[in-house]
Amino acid sequence: MWNRFHIRVSETLHRELPMFRVAGCWLALLLAAATPGFAHHSFALFDMDQNLSMVGTVVEYRWSNPHVHVVLKVDPGPDVASGLVGTWDLEAAGSTNIMTRQGWTRVTLKGGDRITAVVHPMKDGAKGGSLFYIILPDGNRLYTDIARPKGGS
């Protein structure tokens, strides 16, 4: 009897095991696909209707997904508004894939580079923003996304 029961259990497992494997693969695929969605966020915290231009020195350039970050230090000066002075964390709207298509690379910027950044500032007034584009010292303009200024902007 034990032998018979063992054989039945074994036969049942052999029939059901492929179904468990398929179900497990589907579950793993669904979890993997949903994970980036949990980590991503809205750009509602930025004032997307306002463009703020600032000239500063790159402190840090992080080339990583889901968004590239540029930490920019704006020093006081005669033509610099007091509200711009400080260290800014600028988040690019585009992924590294989109930015690569716009001409960016992981070595586009390095600490000490002097750039002009045009950003959509944070609504709460904190020193951060959504990076719209930068202007390099040679005058080359690099956008972070496929968006371009409207009209004569």
Strand partners, 142: 134
Examine the domain organization and report whether 61 and 83 are in the same domain.
yes
The pLDDT of residue 38 is: 45
pLDDT band at 12 (very low <50, low <70, confident <90, very high): low
Q: How far is it, in rounded angstroms, from Cα 64 to Cα 92?
A: 10
Residue 2 has pLDDT above 60, yes or no: no
Q: What is the mean pLDDT of residues 32-52?
A: 70
Domain hosting residue 8, numbered range? 1-40
Residue 3 has pLDDT above 80, yes or no: no
- Is residue 45 a contact partner of residue 124, using CB atoms and an 8 Å limit? yes
Residue 45 lies in a domain: no
pLDDT exceeding 70 applies to what percent of the chain?
Answer: 69
Q: How far is it, in rounded angstroms, from Cα 119 to Cα 144?
A: 10
Residue 59 lies in a domain: yes
Q: How many domains does the chain have?
A: 2
Residue 27 lies in a domain: yes
Closest residue by Cα to residue 13 from 1, 3, 21, 2: 21
Examine the domain organization and report whether 72 and 16 are in the same domain.
no
Examine the domain organization and report whether 61 and 125 are in the same domain.
yes
Examine the domain organization and report whether 36 and 91 are in the same domain.
no
Residue 84 has pLDDT above 70, yes or no: yes
On the question of a cis peptide bond just before residue 18, with omega within 30 degrees of 0, the verdict is: no
Residue 151 lies in a domain: no
The pLDDT of residue 66 is: 86
The pLDDT of residue 93 is: 83
- Is residue 119 a contact partner of residue 127, using CB atoms and an 8 Å limit? no
Examine the domain organization and report whether 68 and 107 are in the same domain.
yes
* Distance, CA of 72 to chain centre: 17
Residue 51 has pLDDT above 80, yes or no: yes
Q: What is the mean pLDDT of residues 10-39?
A: 60
Examine the domain organization and report whether 70 and 8 are in the same domain.
no
- For the chain, the average pLDDT equals 82
Examine the domain organization and report whether 28 and 77 are in the same domain.
no
- Is residue 36 a contact partner of residue 65, using CB atoms and an 8 Å limit? no
Q: What is the mean pLDDT of residues 18-42?
A: 60
Residue 21 lies in a domain: yes
Residue 152 lies in a domain: no
Q: What is the mean pLDDT of residues 11-22?
A: 63
Residue 150 lies in a domain: no
Examine the domain organization and report whether 23 and 95 are in the same domain.
no
Residue 129 lies in a domain: yes
Residue 118 has pLDDT above 60, yes or no: yes
What CATH number should be reported for the domain holding residue 108?
2.40.50
Examine the domain organization and report whether 61 and 111 are in the same domain.
yes
